[in-house]
Structure 1
Amino acid sequence: MSSQEFSLSVADCPLIQIEGWDGTLAQFEKGVSASFGTKLPASVGETVRHRGLLVVRVAPRRLWLALDDGIEAPSLAVDPDLGCSVSLGEGRVRFSMAGAGIARILSRCIAVDWHAPAVAPGRAVQTSLHHVPVLFLRTGETACDLIVPRSFSRSLADWIADSAAASCA
Structure 2
Amino acid sequence: MVRDYNNRHALEQKLRSAPTSPAADHLMVGHWRTMATVLARAGREETVREAIAAQSDLPMRFSAPGEWLVVSEVEAPSGLVRWLEELCDGGAYVVDQSDGRVVFRIAGPNVRSILVKGIGLDLHPSAFTVGGSTNALCGHIPVNLARTDEDTFELIVPRSYAVSLFDDLMKMGRAFDLTAAFSD
CA RMSD of aligned residues (A): 2.4
Cα 1:59–1:118 shift into 2, 3 Å: farther
CA–CA separation in structure 2 for the residues paired with 1:14 and 1:136: 17
Code of the aligned partner of 1:8: L
What CA distance in whole angstroms lies between the structure 1 residues aligned with 2:25 and 2:95? 34
**Is the partner of 2:157 in helix, strand or coil?**
strand
Aligned to 1:50: 56
Name the aligned partner's letter for residue 6 of structure 1.
D
Q: Which residue does the alignment assign to 1:122?
A: 131
Hey, which of these two has a bigger chunk of strand by percent? 1
Change (3 A) 1:24 1:100: closer
Q: Give the match's secondary structure for 2:23.
A: helix
**1:21 shift after superposition:** 1.8
- Ranges of 4+ aligned residues in structure 1 off by more than 6 Å: none
> Which of 18, 29, 37 is matched with 2:38 structurally?
18
- TM-score of the aligned structures, taking structure 1 as reference length: 0.76
2:75 corresponding residue in structure 1:
71
| Count of aligned pairs | 149
- Are residue 152 (structure 1) and residue 161 (structure 2) matched? yes
Map Cα deviations across residues 98-127 of structure 1 (whole Å, 9 max, x no partner). Answer: 111111111112112111644111111210
TM-score if structure 2 supplies the norm length? 0.70
Gaps in structure 2 of 5+ consecutive residues: 1-21, 178-184
Identity, in percent, stands at: 25
